[in-house]
Amino acid sequence: MILLIRKQKLFILFACSFILSGIILLTRDKVITTIPAVSSDKPLYGKKIVIDPGHGGIDKGSSYEDILEKDLNLKVGLELKKILIEQGAKVIMTRQSDIALDDQNRTYTNRHKRDLQARVDIINHNQPDLFISLHVNYFGRKFRIRGPIVFYQDHKTENKVLADKLQTRLNSIEYEGVEMLNNPSRKGDYYILNNTKYPGVLVEMGFINKEIDRWLLTHHQFQKLLAQQIYRGILDYL
Ligand SMILES: [Zn+2]
């Protein structure tokens, strides 16, 4: 009798583990089949790119009335993400919503510096082929300058190459009769550029205090166009 129970128990145990492993195999199969296959003929196949929409959360960046830099950066960043993924790249975003990153770093007492270091950490940790940091400029003085300017750090020659490729593409934008100026790319002393180990640039997409730029930057179609041209510049570079 005892032997019979043991046998029964053993059988039940065996049957259970058999069913369980079947379930695991089935669900594993399901997981595998849901991963979208990235086609190797896509132009950015095998490339890893970090997109860094500047500011966020408590840090609104530059602003003009209720137009905030942090929102514009994120909108273009998400458009760029969409394009790069479509073209086969692996994309890492430093943020995908309206958040600051200062709670991800404890190195500094200064909140702003913790936020910037968290972005640097994401870039250095992921070892991307390149990164793009997105910002909107503000100029207090009445210079005639407007439109996108790409900033780079010249500790690596490829930074300037990337900056020039992006700048050329951005300068060629024409939107509803508005042409860009022929802005040159510039050397920039930015924390994110100075402290990252991988090629990258900081794109100031326009001046929030300039009426034309503000009009452009708040247009969804122009935001998409910016993302499209940044993608083309990336292709030119790669
Ligand atoms: Zn900014």
pLDDT, tens only, 11-58: 555 554 555 454 444 444 444 445 556 678 899 999 999 999 999 999
Which pLDDT does position 142 carry in this prediction? 62
Q: Give the CA diameter of the chain.
A: 97
What's the 3-state SS for 92-139? Answer: EECCCCCCCCHHHCCCCCCHHHHHHHHHHHHHHHHCCCEEEEEEEECC
Which pLDDT belongs to residue 1?
Answer: 46
Instruction: Give me the pLDDT at residue 4, please.
Output: 46
Q: 204: CA distance to ligand 1 center in Å?
A: 8
Residue whose pair of structure tokens reads 């369980």 in the numeric block: 20
Residue with token string 């300039």? 210
Distance 13 CA to ligand 1 centre (A): 62
* Rounded distance from Cα 44 to ligand 1 centre (Å): 27
Q: φ and ψ at 144, to 5 degrees?
A: -75, -10
How far, in Å, is the centroid of ligand 1 from the Cα of 135? 4
Q: From ligand 1's centre to the CA of 91, what distance in Å?
A: 21
Q: Please state the rounded mean pLDDT for residues 199-214.
A: 96
Eight-state DSSP code of residue 197: S
Distance CA 100, CA 73 (A): 13
What's the CA-to-centroid distance between 174 and ligand 1, angstroms?
A: 24
pLDDT averaged over the chain? 88
pLDDT for residue 35: 54
**48-237 falls under which CATH superfamily?**
Zn-dependent exopeptidases (3.40.630.40)
What residue ranges do the domains of the chain occupy? 1-35, 48-237
Predicted TM-score (pTM) of this structure: 0.82
Residues whose beta carbons lie less than 5 angstroms from ion ligand 1: 54, 61, 135
CA of 206 to the centre of ligand 1 (A): 11
How far, in Å, is the centroid of ligand 1 from the Cα of 19? 56
> Beta 149-152 vs 186-187: how paired, if at all?
parallel
pLDDT tens figures, 77-128: 999 999 999 999 999 999 999 999 988 888 888 899 999 999 999 999 999 9
- Cα(172) to ligand 1 centroid in Å equals 23
Cα of 224 vs centre of ligand 1, distance in Å, is 19
